[in-house]
Amino acid sequence: MIPDAPARPAMIDPFGRDISYLRVSVTDRCDFRCTYCMAENMTFLPKKDLLTLEELDRLCSAFVAKGVRRIRLTGGEPLVRKNIMQLVRQLGRHIAAGALDELTLTTNGSQLSRFAAELYDCGVRRINVSLDTLDPEKFRKITRWGELARVLDGIEAARAAGIKVKINAVALKGFNDQEIPAMLRWAHGLGMDMTVIETMPMGEIDEDRTDQYMPLSLLRAQLSKEFTLDEIPYRTGGPARYVEVRETGGRLGFITPMTHNFCESCNRVRLTCTGMLYMCLGQNDDADLRAPLRASEGDELLSAAIDEAIGRKPKGHDFIIDRTSNRPAVARHMSVTGG
């Protein structure tokens, strides 16, 4: 008789959720300054405070050993981190070994032309590209520094390399809400899924978020006048809830942290480039993993610190945007925690 294979380890939080998804912000730096995400004159973390790529690999590998099956690299812009492909290649070994189901990243697309082929070679098969408009002038306005043509070239390079691309667009009232139907047709015409996201109250920016915020319930109602949206059970491991657009045959996801949070099924924790673990995107509670990481060459202290942190993962966040609550719910910018 062949003995049963050992059960896969699992990290279960106080609410019975299996924490199997790790999002890692490898840098808080970005080559864009999107108006809903950052102030124009950002103060970034001193480089000396960042974990080394080797330390990030060790941390990620500890999570894989404890049951994480998906890792997403984020930022800032992950591909601006010096020698980032060294980390991607190291993490790719877990894909090759079958210990990790997926290694992916969220990017603004500006560096994809350089790295797409190598990303595929390292085991990356799916990426998210953040893109809020197809109008070059509006793109420059929303990103402050970005060039749309460079991003579109990067998307094409990723598709040519065999990487499946999903477009992420933040719905911004009065800016791109009327453009979403055209973006949807464009994305689906190229075989790319698309997800729309509500803006979130994270970090001080130069604008009033109440002027930007658009409930996706309103956007969905507008889209329903033009498209037939059929509910489907499709999931990618993240918070998006998908519909199929009958007229295009493509999928459209909705991420609604404001109007309908997705906390009941949250399987994610977020690791920053300084080794802080956030158990919830919208809460300030964190755990320092850098200290136990550096205290010993073994992973016993690190493993215990991870267990302690998962044991206090909160039930959910409490994001609010209105005229009386237009301060950020958390002080840190999204680029610190990672998307």
Q: Report the C-alpha gap between 274 and 143 in whole angstroms.
A: 25
Please give the full DSSP string across 170-222, using - where no structure is assigned: EEBTTTTTTTHHHHHHHHHHTT-EEEEEE---BS--SS-HHHHB--HHHHHHH
Burial of 50 (0-12, 13-18, 19+ CB in 10 A): buried
Q: Report the C-alpha gap between 299 and 302 in whole angstroms.
A: 5
Annotated binding residues for S-adenosyl-L-methionine? 36, 76, 130, 200
Residues 10 and 67: beta-carbon distance below 8 Å? yes
Q: Report the C-alpha gap between 107 and 202 in whole angstroms.
A: 19
Q: Which residues contact 249 (CB under 8 A, 6 or more apart)?
A: 188
Q: Which residues contact 120 (CB under 8 A, 6 or more apart)?
A: 161, 162, 163
Residue 26, helix vs strand vs coil: coil
Annotated binding residues? 23, 30, 34, 36-37, 72, 76, 106, 130, 166, 200, 263, 266, 268-270, 280
Q: How far apart are the first and last CA of the chain?
A: 47
Annotated binding residues for GTP? 23, 72, 106, 166, 268-270
What are the tokens at 337?
A: 């925690």
Annotated binding residues for [4Fe-4S] cluster? 30, 34, 37, 263, 266, 280
What are the tokens at 62?
A: 């500890």
